[in-house]
Chain A
Amino acid sequence: MVERPFDRLRKVPGQYWMLVLMWIRSALAYPASFVFMVGSSMLITVLDFVVIVIMFNHIKSFGGFSLGEMALLYATASMTLGIADLFTGSIERVGERIRTGSMDVYLIRPVPAFVQAAADQFALRRIGRPLQAGVVLVFAFSHLEVDWTVAKGIMLALSMVVGGIIFAAIFVLGASFQFVAIDSAELANAFTYGGQTLTQYPLSVFGKDIVRAVTFVVPLAFVNYYPVLYVLGKPAPLGLPSWIGLLSPAVAVAMVALASLAWRGGLRRYRSTGS
């Protein structure tokens, strides 16, 4: 029976899930270590927010944002990166596999290489970040006075998914670049973890050039900044329309297209080590 492309796509979630379960079982083989890792992952992200609280111990507002508004920005940035990191963060490990040639195994198994790379060493401990972001989100809601409308609710919910997809695309782009420049794993961190740090803060404090860069070059502003501005009823910078956050899904689609092209191109370039 000839397998059609659509059939292959339909199998992907099941295949991904199987690999994920396998890696979770393998992590549980060292229980003490696993408990430490989940605990410390949550702690790391908690401390992230403690930093902002410490800042607000000294100041009343940061770039025109109150603590509650900052919490909303933080929660959305942390949630979206957390989701992307949980599902695709492992893909940065391909560099190691390209260097040692163990990428070969991916290519001979009957599962797309992308699925295997994304699930590689799946780290359940990374769930700590989205969980903590959820807690901060509740904190933000209790400190904010927003006139909720259906549009705002949809915008916020949508931005969580769309933002996660944009970050995931950046993870994949970074991994694809490693086919060209082996050992460049740290480069992607500038845009993923760097992007998260950046988007935790109101982007306008970084100046117009940065806002332009994260709107038109690396579209990090669409992850959460424009959607949050819309929810809070604040004007968008650079004279952009206030509904610009609605373009986020389109930006995500473009990023995914770019990432999948890059990944395919990278995979085609792969040469084993031959030793």
Chain B
Amino acid sequence: MGVYWAIGVRSFRRFSTYRIATASGAFTNTVFGFILCGIYLTLWHERPGLGGYDVSDALTFVWLQQGLLMPIGIFGATTTVELGERVRSGEIAVDLYRPTHLMLWWLSVDLGRAMFQLIVRGGAPLLVGAFVFDLKFPSGALTWLAIALGLVLGILVSFGLRYLVALSGFWITDSRGTEHLALVLSLFFSGTVLPLVVFPGWIGDFARATPWAATLQVPIDIWLGRNPGGVGAALLFQLGWIVVLLLIGQLATSFATLKVVIQGG
């Protein structure tokens, strides 16, 4: 256990050295926040109460989302992209003969990254947004606890997905294609391009049941207090996907190590 903690801490420190990247990322999130607010203000002005959100919900959604994109890894994350690269280049061999579990190793690396990005830049766009717009903040220790839990679970679901994507390289050599495909699904079904509550009919029901919904839409709804089945059901939904994804991840790891072909020489 100690070794995984140590890995996580080092990963956290590694990301803390990318200062300009962090600052410029937060700047970009903020610019996008303002753009999206303009769009959503117009949309919710035309249709007040759209999807069960009021204007303040919609705006809060924007700023939370902009802060959470990177920590959760909606576009993919440096860590799992690196894992995919290591599979392609053959460096994965080094990871495989370490006396640690492959998935747990990369999970620790990813959590270190996510925690840095969550703590340092996660709140920055929200802070800017709160100066300009009237945003919703939760009250009560229990709600804050549920939010923290929901965020960690969201990151775990996202890791479960990204880990499988990276491992796909064992079968098709280059995981960049799958990464791209995963990006499409992630953007659409996590609520990044539009909150899932706005999706109409069956496509909305489908989107809200996917694991991607558990990464972004669900934690934000916990913040807003807008989970259709209550907070408990939302957390269980996330947990369910984590169990499924990590089990598949474990299976994929064993299969991959059985058929591993190290390239290069």
Contacts and interface: CB of A to CB of B under 8 A. Distances in A.
Interface of A: 30, 32-37, 39-41, 43-44, 47-48, 50-51, 54-55, 57-63, 125, 181-187, 189-191, 194, 197-198, 201, 205-207, 210
A205 B39 contact: yes
B184 A40 contact: yes
Contact of B198 (A54, A190, A205): A54
A51 B23 CA distance: 29
Contact of B177 (A32, A62, A187, A205): A32
Nearest to A44: B184
Interface string B19-49: 0110111011001101110110111001100
Given A37-B176, A43-B184, A62-B42, A181 B20 contact: yes
Q: Is the interface of B mostly helix, strand, loop or mixed?
A: helix
B105 to A, nearest CB: 25
Interface stretch (B109-117, B150-158, B186-194, B248-256): B186-194
B243 interface: no
A194 B199 contact: no
Q: How extensive is the interface on chain B, given as a class?
A: 35 or more
B188 A47 contact: yes
A63 to B, nearest CB: 5
Interface string B36-75: 1011011100110010000000000000000000000000
Contact of B25 (A48, A55, A59, A186): A186
Contacts of B178: 33, 36
B95 interface: no
Given A183-B18, A205-B39, A189 B184 contact: no
20 contacts: A30-B174, A32-B172, A33-B174, A34-B177, A39-B181, A40-B181, A44-B184, A47-B184, A47-B187, A54-B199, A59-B47, A60-B46, A181-B24, A184-B21, A186-B21, A190-B31, A198-B35, A201-B39, A205-B39, A206-B38
